[in-house]
Amino acid sequence: MTALVAIGTYVPPDRVPIESLADEFELTPMQLRVFRRYHKLGSAAHAPSLSLTELLGLAVADLRLTVEQAARIRYVLYARTFPGVVPYPLNPLHEVCRSFGLQHASAFAVGHHACASGLLAVDLAGRLLASAPPDALALVLTGEKAFTGEARFVPETSMFGEGAAACLVAASGPRDRQLSYVASLRGEFDGELEEVAGEFQRIYHDALGAAVTSAVSSAGLSLSDIALILPHNVNVVAWQRVCKRIGYPLDRVLLDHVADYGHVFCADAFLNHRTAVARGLLQPGDHYVIAAAGAGRGATFSAMVFSH
């Protein structure tokens, strides 16, 4: 059963306030107040001096891989929100692998699940490791640069923050074992954001709630068994609505970083996991859900259940 072995993260110290986006996205003072008070979006992490390669590298460095661990890594999967993030043929993934002596690993990107691609990568890593030698490991990388308008701001919804996470995955292990994974692909939202936003917002909370309850059910559990939800940091009101629909207490959704980091692409899940462990919110044996959704010319709603 796929298990998380260790998580490394990097969040830069700089922040950009939501107000800094006002001119570029023609946000009115009223809209800015709604973002701060209603969606609880205040700022986003920002790393103006770091390249994508450096950002990912800092997350891998935070893992403090031993030589023995590095040698056991057979796969490196880079999960992305945006399919294209650097000019071709630049390849930050392989640059990071070279920097950390991981050339012996098969490294590739997986995606087209928008911000839910991180969960896809964990699931795929586990699948590959299931037929690898028992001591083999996989490394899942997440994190992107807010390099263009649509990678900085989702109208009426969220602002993206820069950061990265690196998650070491094993085929089995004593903790953070994956019990289920559900991905609901909604390719009908294959238009420009302004074209699909209305319908996407209409179904968003039901679809994300359905992914969560389906994953919990697939794990043979009920929502009352779930100690914590680790969400994507899209905004607070979205999770208020999801919780209301599925009947789950909002105070058990870890929303600590929404107002500060912003939505750190596919890295939210791992950043929030780190915080949950640091705050003592997960006890041995606790079941928890990692959930994410995203739209970017195609929408995906995903959830994964783990046992800590």
Partner 1 sequence: MFALGLRRAVSRRYPTPALLAADAGHAARLSTYLTDLLAPQGLTLAPDALTPVRGQSYGEMAVPLLPADPVDLLVLAYDVPDISPGRAVSTYLTHVCPGSPMSFAVSDQGRAAAFTALSLMQTYAATHPRAVLIAVEQADLPYDPGVPVTLPAAHAGIALHLAADAPPASVTVTPDSDAVLDSLDGLDAATVVLGGGLAGLADDVKADRVVLADPAQPMTGVWEALAALDLDTAGRIVVADYDPALRYLCVATFG
* CA proximity to 234, closest of 212, 211, 214, 205: 205
Between strands 73-79 and 164-170, the pairing is: unpaired
Residue 100 contacts partner 1 per CB under 8 A: no
Residue 241 contacts partner 1 per CB under 8 A: no
**Binds partner 1 by CB under 8 A, chosen from 7, 45, 58, 109:** 109
Query: Which are the contacts of 240, defined by CB distance < 8 A and separation ≥ 6?
Result: 250
- The whole-angstrom separation of Cα 307 and Cα 292 is 18
- The whole-angstrom separation of Cα 172 and Cα 1 is 5
**Binds partner 1 by CB under 8 A, chosen from 26, 28, 64, 84:** 84
Residue 131 contacts partner 1 per CB under 8 A: yes
Residue 83 contacts partner 1 per CB under 8 A: yes
- The whole-angstrom separation of Cα 32 and Cα 34 is 5
Span from 18-26, 35-43, 101-109, 247-255 in contact with partner 1 (CB under 8 A): 101-109
Residue 94 contacts partner 1 per CB under 8 A: yes
Residue 273 contacts partner 1 per CB under 8 A: no
What is the total count of residues that contact partner 1 (CB under 8 A)?
Answer: 50
Closest distance of CB 120 from partner 1, Å: 6
Residue 195 contacts partner 1 per CB under 8 A: no
- The DSSP secondary structure of 180-211, one letter per residue, reads EEEEEEETT--S-HHHHHHHHHHHHHHHHHHH
Residue 170 contacts partner 1 per CB under 8 A: no
**Binds partner 1 by CB under 8 A, chosen from 25, 31, 62, 147:** 147
Q: List the beta bridge partners of residue 140.
A: 77, 167
Span from 17-25, 81-89, 164-172, 238-246 in contact with partner 1 (CB under 8 A): 81-89
- With 0-12 / 13-18 / 19 or more C-beta atoms within 10 angstroms meaning exposed / middle / buried, residue 237 is middle
Span from 17-25, 35-43, 121-129, 229-237 in contact with partner 1 (CB under 8 A): 121-129
**x-marked contacts with partner 1 along 8-47 as a string, rule CB under 8 A:** ----------------------------------------
**Binds partner 1 by CB under 8 A, chosen from 190, 201, 222, 249:** 190
Residue 130 contacts partner 1 per CB under 8 A: yes
Query: Which are the contacts of 181, defined by CB distance < 8 A and separation ≥ 6?
Result: 119, 122, 123, 215, 218, 302, 303, 304, 305
Collapsing DSSP states into helix, strand and coil, what is residue 153?
Answer: strand
Residue 200 contacts partner 1 per CB under 8 A: no
Q: List the beta bridge partners of residue 303.
A: 182, 291
Collapsing DSSP states into helix, strand and coil, what is residue 34?
Answer: helix
Residue 183 contacts partner 1 per CB under 8 A: yes
Nearest to partner 1 of 45, 124 (CB atom): 124
- The whole-angstrom separation of Cα 239 and Cα 301 is 13
Pair of tokens at residue 237: 């009101």
**Binds partner 1 by CB under 8 A, chosen from 67, 192, 280, 284:** 192
The residues binding partner 1 (CB under 8 A) are 51, 78, 82-91, 93-94, 103-114, 117, 120, 124, 127-128, 130-131, 145, 147-150, 183, 185-188, 190, 192, 296-300
